[in-house]
Amino acid sequence: MRDFNEQVKNRLMFYFAVVFFVFILLVLRLVWIQVINSAEYKHKALSQRVKEFVIDSERGMIYDNTGRKIAVSLPAKTVVALPDNIINPQKTASELDPLLDINYNTIYRRITSDAAAIFLQRKIEDELYQKIEAKNLKGITFTEESKRYYPEGELASHILGFTGIDNNGLNGLELSYNNQLSGKAGKMIVERDAEGKTIPNGIRETVPGRDGYNIYLTIDEVIQYMAEKELENAEEKFDFSGGSIIVMDSSNGDILAMANTPTFNPNEFGKYPDRNWRNRAINDVFEPGSTFKIITAASALEEGVITENDILTDPAHIYVAGEEINCWSRYGHGKQSFAEVIKNSCNPGFVEVGLKMNKETFYSYIKAFGFGEQTGIRLPAEARGIIPEYERIGLIELATFTFGHGLSVTPIQLAAAISAVANDGKLMRPRLVKKVDTGNSSENIINDPEVVRQVISKSTADKTKELLKQVVETGTGTQAAIEGYQIGGKTGTAKHYNEDIYDSSFIGIVEAAERDLVILTILYDIKGETYYGSQTAAPVFRNLTSNILNYLNVKPDTSKKNGYETNETELEVPNLIGKSFLKAESDLRDQGFNVKLIGDGELVRAQLPDPETLTNYNSTVWLFSNEQFKEELLLAVPDFRGMEAAAAVKLAKQKGLNVVLDGSGKVIGQSVYPGKRIKSSKKINLKLR
């Protein structure tokens, strides 16, 4: 009996020890939960009762320069499935299958998932919303979101870009200004009971969001429409892969229009091929062809190696480093002033002028005009253009650069560079966005016009503009002329290598009241017999410019003469040998000559043309501090054939060449082939009969 009692007592003690141990564990656990780690469990308890709702911000609107809305945000319905509430998923899926952009299997899989709620299709059209709502499907509901909408459809689509389903910008200004346009989402915190009902006196907190900022552009919706319409019209007349038009206010860099074709509707961008999304005015490069001659002319005039009255010759070709460079004219233009070279768009003439500048000088002007670098217009994927590295440029490359071959530029680079000529020589940064409106005038982001650099002087810019006017008046750009308006410009035609395909262009400077507009038209990859810029791009320019001037209420003025007036006065070149550079230059300028100084010496040791030569007023006299500098110059040989002896001798002296006459009458042969470049000391034998 005693052993039994002892055994019971031991069991009781054991059970008591176990219970006591468990009790200690529970106490320690309670201390851990209630004291040591109480904050964490309070947070978990609260999170079970508190529901956080995201409050979407509204994306900012985009306006043109007159305040017209061209990108807005509208409410849109999103189809939501509540799987727990769907009684017959097969029937529901079959009802939605023909209406939604997803198939039956995908719908069924989603509406039978474990999720409390799931999106089926976001931001649907109102018509589709009405159809689905009319079916009154159990477990199918809607939530409201914000949807980007472009009221004018395709208008300015390449500038605006588009947004994705989550309202983030994917292209164009929507992408590059996404941070400003998208705003910041807010949230609402609400405390609920176990049944999901809001607790009347529970936690309720709102964290406000911020709507996106509105953006004001430089684009004029009407001018943009006109530009796009002209490209559309051109598609009906010519066979080409696409086109670009840029209208730029040269005084401040404002882009009034930037149109491209092919185009797309940003409201339905997914229905178009990717190539339609490309903003070719920004993203693509092309050989500018003869439009680049404006850069060559402005650079040479600024550098003082040429004036509009200097005499040049074109025997239909010129030889550079053994290569023949031809003129578009089969027979050439013969003797002509530089003003006529510009008017006639003569390649050999521009080569001769370009080679008067050394490589370093011409290359520096190409870079100064902004080629080979981004303009900073702030659109996605802006190309830099293709300018060969300085070390890889030889005489041939330098020669072809003068007429726009061998390098590639973007349309926006070309428009900005020619705007510098129109704007007193000041290169402006192209501007698309004027202002980002933050809702607080003191914090608004203002994009003021920005001068990048002074490229050429005002006098050179003015002279270049005058010379370009004659191109439109009587030269290769007559198809761009508009009666009563002052227009200067240049055509361009660049052939693709190894293909009968061309890029044709025209760029014009148009006087419009108190400002000059620069308008560039490009048609890419033209096929067929009609491909010259004068035949294709120039008429597009004329039609567009006429409409723009009418819209801006710029009245024609027939009292002004359009074009450069030549001064046919001839002057005799004085003898400057032995004079100081300073004195010689002063005397020459006083007499009506342009002067180019070569060398670092103080005295004139050689000159070109030689003394007593009769040449044009304001033509260039070269002064050398060392005779070797003159000897190193290579001079283009004219075609003397058919000229009277006196005329041939006079032309040779004006060019700085030595000729020896054999016989009398007219020249019937010459010992150096026309277009060759030789030293001034080499004699040219002329056979006369």
- Percentage of the chain lying above the pLDDT 90 cut: 66
pLDDT at res. 189: 59
Give the count of beta carbons closer than 10 Å to the beta carbon of residue 296.
24
Same domain, 313 and 330: yes
User: pLDDT of 150-159, one tens digit each?
Assistant: 999 999 999 9
The stretch 17-26 carries a mean pLDDT of: 77
Whether residue 245 is contained in a domain is answered as yes
pLDDT at res. 32: 67
Whether residue 561 is contained in a domain is answered as no
Whether residue 556 is contained in a domain is answered as no
CA 56, distance to chain mean position in Å, is 34
Same domain, 489 and 575: no
Same domain, 6 and 66: no
Single pTM value for the model = 0.86
Whether residue 484 is contained in a domain is answered as yes
Give the count of beta carbons closer than 10 Å to the beta carbon of residue 373.
13
pLDDT at res. 448: 94
Greater confidence, 242 or 142? 242
The stretch 111-123 carries a mean pLDDT of: 77
Catalytic status, residue 290: yes
CA 458, distance to chain mean position in Å, is 25
Q: How far apart are CA 522 and CA 541, in angstroms?
A: 9
What are the Cα distances from residue 244, in Å, to 66, 263, 415? 23, 11, 11
Same domain, 419 and 361: yes
Residue 77 has pLDDT above 60, yes or no: yes
Three-state DSSP class for residue 471: helix
Greater confidence, 74 or 159? 159
Whether residue 384 is contained in a domain is answered as yes
Same domain, 62 and 35: no
User: pLDDT of 88-99, one tens digit each?
Assistant: 888 888 888 888
CATH number, domain with residue 381: 3.40.710.10
Residue 423 has pLDDT above 90, yes or no: yes
The stretch 497-502 carries a mean pLDDT of: 85
Please list, in sequence order, all residues whose beta carbon lies within 8 angstroms of the beta carbon of residue 68, skipping any fewer than 6 positions away.
Answer: 221
The interaxial angle of helices 411-422 and 293-303, nearest 10 deg, is: 40
Greater confidence, 404 or 97? 404
The stretch 356-384 carries a mean pLDDT of: 95
CATH number, domain with residue 675: 3.30.10.20
Whether residue 276 is contained in a domain is answered as no
Whether residue 440 is contained in a domain is answered as no
Same domain, 526 and 670: no
* Average pLDDT score over the chain: 88
Q: Is 228 exposed, middle or buried (0-12, 13-18, 19+ CB in 10 A)?
A: buried
Q: Are 320 and 395 in contact (CB under 8 A)?
A: yes
What are the Cα distances from residue 240, in Å, to 98, 236, 531? 40, 10, 9
Same domain, 591 and 542: no
Greater confidence, 95 or 605? 605
Last residue of a domain, one of 498, 517, 551: 551
pLDDT at res. 282: 96
User: pLDDT of 289-308, one tens digit each?
Assistant: 999 999 999 999 999 999 99
Sheet holding 186-191, edge to edge: 50-55, 186-191, 204-207
CATH number, domain with residue 57: 3.90.1310.10
User: pLDDT of 616-639, one tens digit each?
Assistant: 999 999 999 999 999 889 999 999
Same domain, 63 and 159: yes
Q: What is the amino acid identity at position 462? A: D
Give the count of beta carbons closer than 10 Å to the beta carbon of residue 322.
7
Three-state DSSP class for residue 653: helix
Range of the domain at 362: 221-270+284-435+447-551
Residue 651 has pLDDT above 60, yes or no: yes
Q: How far apart are CA 508 and CA 538, in angstroms?
A: 9
- Percentage of the chain lying above the pLDDT 70 cut: 90
Same domain, 402 and 519: yes
Residue among 407, 383, 168 at smallest CA distance from 278:
383
Same domain, 59 and 136: yes
Same domain, 302 and 413: yes
Strand ranges (E), 513-613: 515-526, 570-572, 594-598, 606-608
The stretch 671-687 carries a mean pLDDT of: 94
Q: Are 393 and 375 in contact (CB under 8 A)?
A: no
Residue 334 has pLDDT above 80, yes or no: yes
Q: Which of 176, 244, 290, 619 is catalytic?
A: 290
Per-residue confidence at 198, pLDDT binned at 50, 70, 90? very low
Residue among 382, 410, 560 at smallest CA distance from 482:
560
Question: Considering its fold, how many domains does the chain have in total?
Answer: 4
Same domain, 319 and 179: no
User: pLDDT of 551-566, one tens digit each?
Assistant: 999 999 877 765 567 7
Last residue of a domain, one of 195, 217, 239: 217
The stretch 359-377 carries a mean pLDDT of: 96
Greater confidence, 129 or 579? 579
Residue 195 has pLDDT above 70, yes or no: no
Residue among 155, 210, 208, 109 at smallest CA distance from 440:
210
Q: How far apart are CA 62 and CA 434, in angstroms?
A: 11
The stretch 455-483 carries a mean pLDDT of: 94
Task: Tell me which of 46-60, 346-360, 371-385, 471-485 is least confident.
Answer: 46-60
Please list, in sequence order, all residues whose beta carbon lies within 8 angstroms of the beta carbon of residue 166, skipping any fewer than 6 positions away.
Answer: none
Residue 445 pairs in a beta bridge with 436
Whether residue 339 is contained in a domain is answered as yes
Residue 176 has pLDDT above 80, yes or no: yes
Residue 675 has pLDDT above 50, yes or no: yes
Per-residue confidence at 201, pLDDT binned at 50, 70, 90? low
Structure tokens belonging to residue 462: 């003015």
